[in-house]
Structure 1
Amino acid sequence: MASMIPADEQTNYEIFRDCVSEPVLRILAAPPKKEPKKRRREKKSKKPSKTTDVKQDSEPEPEPPSPPNDAEDLSEFIEYLSTDIFTSLPPSLRTLTHALSTASPSLQSTYALPLPPSTLSSIIAAVPVSTTDSLTSYALLTSPHHNPAVDLPPFLGPILAAYITTATTPPPPPSTTRTDACELCERDWIPTTYHHLIPKSTHARVLKRGWHRAEELGRVAWLCRACHSFVHRCAGNEELAREWYTVELLRGREDVGNWVKWVGRVRWKKS
């Protein structure tokens, strides 16, 4: 599906797909909730109940489709969602860059975060109905309204915010520490972001309590967006600074190890 994207929009599409994949992977990776077993109270009766006969004859309700969990199917599903939504975006948003945003006060105003309600509404109105149906079928939309104007903002709003932030952020300064692949899942075909192994918000406390030396505070790991978000869901900043301050320590966590094995199988097809 990525072949549908014009060459001059390909880089932005890949950023957008990465932003879409993070919440989809997070939601679908969560273990399904087990419903408590209901105990049936059977009444002893010699005569058969008419109500029981009716229930036995009635047809079972159709089950909703199961979300894709196979790595290849999941990759295709994310590609489908990303392509359908991205191609419905306004051209100015599909081609947004740091240079264009800096040079255009109009673009800065239109796509200032948080997005103005009028801008978000116009974007949502252009999303194909089939995409909304797929999101609803696979329980990616949590609202019970089944109304795109109500259901889509909580899902698409954060994706658009992450996309705009990434697309308009100036290129990072050259760094000898940057890697070609995510340092956790080792996928080398998706963008990476830098994760402060000792979060900046903890630096004063770290130095006061002597957890690390001052020269160690700037260490970073290059992680894909999905792994970066997962790490921050695993522990708070203070715990990360105190106990999980290297890639090796993070890899040693059972939950991170299980996540890395799972997400590492999700691959995009070459266009």
Structure 2
Amino acid sequence: MDNVAGNEAVLRDCIFSAIVEKSISPTKKTPKAIKKGGTPKKAASTEAQPCENPGKEVDASALAEFSDYLATEIFGSLPEELKGLSYHAIQNDAALSATWSLPLTLSVTEEVSAYVSADVVDSLVAYAMIEPPKSDIQSFMAGVLSAFVSAVTIPPPKWVSTKTSACEICERDWVPMTYHHLIPRQIHAKVLKRGWHEEQQLNSVAWLCRACHTFVHRMASNEELAREWYTIDRICEREDVQKWAQWVRRVRWKKT
């Protein structure tokens, strides 16, 4: 998989995570199908279950189809430098690094959002992913772009030799992998001060798909993750995680 193709897959996964978070919140509309022209069929209102306990009302394949459509349309419209963005690219180009360093500036988000087609915006409005005037394409893209840039510019981990071929929660092996710090870096100092774990445990990681990675950070605070959910086995023992994994396994991308 070349860099651009790999980045498109990452963007698709970031969009999927954003769509899941919004679509399976109560009272949101669930995407059912997308016409080839990019215009969604009439949205059907449905009562969805919360993320922590996804229900049958939310069709995983429909969410995947909708996310796939959005990713294809959005990625195709992005500037070339963003399509090929990588850790090595920003290391070797000061201007590129300045533009795409996190947090992204409002002007950068607005500029990228301007490339998004009206058909995509209409689809997002139809399925209540954005709700003018409360939210707009910039607010939707801000989270997606931040997740995308973070994923494609992160330095190669020293734990790369531990990388698995499939997500350690949902076991899907056809989506991009990210690494999750089992003991969040933001509280390493506190962990050592309180004596919760030995220093050699601090850099333990689990390899997760973007959707499962997002789920884990929603299910518990950084402190709770460090104190209670510091191994992948402990995480996978949770009932809500098991239900989530069963649900997200049903996702099958139509494109490779």
TM bucket normalised to smaller:
0.7 to 0.9
Please say if 1:166 is aligned against 2:166: no
Mapping 1:100-115, distance limit 5 Å = 100-115=89-104
Q: How far apart, in 2, do the equivalents of 1:131 and 1:262 lie?
A: 26
Question: 1:145–1:208: structure 2 CA closer, same or farther, 3 Å change rule?
Answer: closer
The separation in 1 between residues aligned to 2:103 and 2:184, in whole angstroms, is 24
| Larger CA Rg, structure 1 vs 2 | 1
Check the 8 A contact 2:19/2:63 in 1, yes or no.
Answer: no
Aligned equivalents of 1:115, 1:214: Cα separation in 2: 32
1:14 to 3, 6, 9: 9
Displacement after TM superposition at 1:90 (Å)? 1.2
| Paired letter, 1:90 | P
Shift of 1:101: 2.2
Q: Does the Cα contact within 8 Å between 1:65 and 1:137 map onto a contact in 2?
A: no
Q: 2:111 matched to which residue of 1?
A: 122
Determine whether 1:23 maps to 2:2: no
Identify which of 146, 151, 165 aligns with 2:136.
151
Q: What code does the residue aligned with 2:252 have? A: R
- Structure 2 residue runs of 5 or longer lacking an equivalent are 29-41, 47-56
CA distance 1:208–1:123, change in 2 (3 Å): closer
CA distance in 1 between counterparts of 2:89 and 2:188 reads 35
Question: Alpha-carbon deviation of 1:82?
Answer: 0.4
1:199 — aligned with what?
Answer: 184
2:235 aligned residue: 250
- From 227, 247, 251, the counterpart of 1:262: 247
Letter in 2 for 1:182: C
> Which shows bigger deviation, 64-73 or 75-84?
64-73
Q: How large is the RMSD of aligned CA atoms in angstroms? A: 2.6
Closer/same/farther in 2, CA of residues 29 and 164 from structure 1, 3 Å limit: same
Q: Of 48, 68, 78, which aligns to 2:67?
A: 78
1:132 aligned to which of 110, 121, 128: 121
The number of aligned residues is 233
Distance 2:5 2:148 in 1: 14
Q: CA deviation at 1:110?
A: 3.1
CA shift, 1:103, in A, is 2.2
TM-score by length of 2: 0.80
Q: Which residue of 2 aligns with 1:3?
A: none
Match of 2:215 among 227, 230, 249: 230
1:65 aligns with 2:44: yes
Q: Which residue of 1 aligns with 2:36?
A: none
Q: What CA deviation, in whole Å up to 9, does each residue of 1:132-164 have, x standing for no partner?
A: 1111111111x4328xxx601111012112212
Equivalents in 2 of 1:66, 1:12: separation in Å?
33
| Fraction of identical pairs, as percent | 47
- 1:241–1:79 Cα change, 3 Å: same
Aligned to 2:51: none
Please give the alpha-carbon distance, in whole angstroms, between the structure 2 residues aligned to 1:32 and 1:87.
31
- Structure 2 vs 1, CA of residues 207 and 103 (structure 1 numbering), >3 Å: closer, same or farther? closer
